[in-house]
Structure formats: structure tokens, C-alpha cells
Amino acid sequence: MTRGRFITLEGGEGAGKTTQSVLLADALTAHGVGALRTREPGGSPGAEVLRGLLLGGSIDWSPRAETLLHFAARAEHVAETVDPALAAGTWVICDRFFDSTLAYQGYGQGADRSFIASLIGLLGIAPDLTLVLDVPESVAAERMRKRGGDADRYERLDSAFHARVRQGFRDIALSEPDRCVLLDASADIQAVHTAIMTAVWTRFGQ
Ligand SMILES: Nc1ncnc2c1ncn2[C@@H]1O[C@H](COP(=O)(O)OP(=O)(O)OP(=O)(O)O)[C@@H](O)[C@H]1O
Ligand SMILES: [Mg+2]
């Protein structure tokens, strides 16, 4: 059994990660590639419990505790969902992964980035390809306004926080060009999808 490919989508709120993960999974399925869509924080029963504490809870966690909660959820998600699917030959499309912890907790909230980098190294798994969706904050804000719904703990933070997160994702993409592709996600949905499919087939050569 050939191990599946592990693809993550990253970027700030409103960048289009969820929209594009659906289109990518559907395109892979249409191509005859079995694909599982999942997301973080969450993606397995235990990790979803931690998601509730991180996104909905009223506790203002200290930066290291918040980082560790994200990694606890991630370890559970990898063990219960991601690894079994990859081992079965399924491609895994994951909406956010460890780059979000570096961007939000590290760049955004000031948690020690070397602490986060150590945890990334200890995790034992890295994506085969990471698609970093980049949009100006004004575009993201307009999309979030149109989408509506209640804001989570991170969405409620100020524009300086979101600017640091965006810069974090850009830095990550540029510092790891073998794994990451930085995409202009301000184009329309179909154009972004086409760019994603080009990146996927360029990387995996099918
Ligand atoms: N390229 C695009 N052009 C215009 N609107 C878009 C585009 N991509 C997504 N949208 C719309 O913007 C909104 C946010 O998109 P989506 O939910 O996919 O973003 P997200 O990155 O998953 O955000 P979050 O981090 O909050 O989950 C949705 O209403 C979606 O339909
Ligand atoms: Mg989403």
C-alpha cells in the first residue's frame, strides 16, 4: 500500500481554506484519488473537545499553555485520524496544521517561537505540501463580514494581531520553499482552485 499524501491549507480567517479544501478533495476524488478532509484544531473526538476549550472557552490561556493545548489536540488528531488515513493510502487534506500554531501563537500572541519549533520537530509528521493562502486584511474582513456567524476567540483579536499572523504565514512559506507554496488568494474561488491544482500536480507529478 502506497502511503497517502498529506496536504495542509494555511492562512488567516477568510483566506478561503475551507472553501478550497472542499474543492481540492472533490478534484482528487474525481481523479480517482481517495481523499479525506479534516481540520484543526479538532479532527478527532478528543481533539474536538480541546477545540472547544481553545476557540469557544472564556479562559485567556498563557501562551505556552495555549501552544501545548494545540499540540495535544494535534497529537490526538494525528494518531486517530491523519496517520491511519495516510497508512491506508488515502490523501489527507487538512484545514490548518502546525504552521497555524507558529503564526497565531508565535507571531500573533508572542509565544516563544523556538518552543513551538521544538514541538513541531517532536511531532513526528510534517505535511508533504502546504498551501499558504494569502489575502490582504481588507479582503479577509469583507469575506468574514459576508459569511456572518459568531466570532471565535482568535477572530475577536485586533487588526494588529491579524497583520502579525499574516506576516508569520508569509515568513513560514518563504523559509520553507520545499514544503510550502504561497498563493495569492484574493483572486476568485475558481482561479485560486486552479492555482492549487497546479501546485498539487507540480509537487506530486500526476
Ligand atoms: N476566492 C474567494 N473570493 C471570494 N469569496 C471567497 C473566496 N474564497 C472564499 N470566499 C468566501 O469567503 C468566506 C470565507 O471563506 P472560508 O470560510 O473558506 O475561509 P477560511 O479560510 O476557511 O476562514 P476561517 O479561518 O475563518 O475558517 C466564505 O463565505 C467563502 O464563500
Ligand atoms: Mg475555515
pLDDT at 154: 87
143 lines ligand 1 (CB under 6 A): yes
Measured in Å, how far apart are the chain's first and last C-alpha atoms?
18
CB 144 within 8 A of CB 16: no
The atom of ligand 1 lying closest to the CA of 192 is 1
State residue 99's pLDDT score.
Answer: 98
Burial string for 94-105 (b: 16+ CB within 10 Å, else e) reads bbbbbbbbbbbb
Task: Report pLDDT for 109.
Answer: 94
Cα–Cα distance list, 57 to 49, 68, 171, 186, 204 (Å): 11, 16, 29, 31, 40
CA 152 to chain centre: 16
Which pLDDT belongs to residue 107?
97
To test ligand 1's pocket by mutation, which of 18, 51, 155, 156 has the most ligand atoms within 8 angstroms of CB?
Answer: 18
Q: How confident is the model at residue 156 (pLDDT cuts 50, 70, 90)?
A: confident
70 ligand 1 Cβ < 6 A:
no
- Ligand 1 atom having least distance to the Cα of 95: 22
What are the DSSP calls for 67-125, one per residue? Answer: HHHHHHHHHHHIIIIIHHHHHTT-EEEEES-HHHIIIIIIIIT---HHHHHHHHHHH--
> Which one, of 99, 82, 87, 92, lies nearest residue 133 by Cα?
99
Mean pLDDT calculated for residue range 141-170: 90
Adjacency order of strands within the sheet including 6-10? 35-39, 91-95, 6-10, 129-134, 180-184
Q: Looking at the predicted structure, is the pLDDT value of residue 86 above 70? A: yes
Set out the domains of the chain in order of their start, with CATH numbers.
Answer: 6-204 (3.40.50.300)
Only one residue has cell 481540520, namely 39
Mean per-residue pLDDT, 63-77: 97
Ligand 1 binding pocket includes 108 (Cβ within 6 Å)? no
How much is the pLDDT for 206? Answer: 65
Whether 203 has a pLDDT exceeding 70, the answer reads yes
Q: Which atom of ligand 1 is nearest to the CA of 143?
A: 12
Q: Residues 181-191: what's their mean pLDDT?
A: 97
Written as nine digits, the cell of 158 is: 485586533
Ligand 1 in contact with 17 (CB < 6 A)?
A: yes
Its pTM stands at 0.97
Assess contact for 102 and 137: CB atoms under 8 A. no
Per-residue pLDDT, averaged over 79-90, amounts to: 98
Residue 192, pLDDT above cutoff 70:
yes
pLDDT in tens, 25-66: 999 999 999 999 999 999 999 999 999 999 987 898 999 999
Mean pLDDT confidence for 7-35: 97
Give the CB-side neighbour count of residue 15, counting CA atoms within 13 A: 26
Average pLDDT over residues 144-171: 91
Q: Is the CB of 147 under 6 A from ligand 1?
A: yes
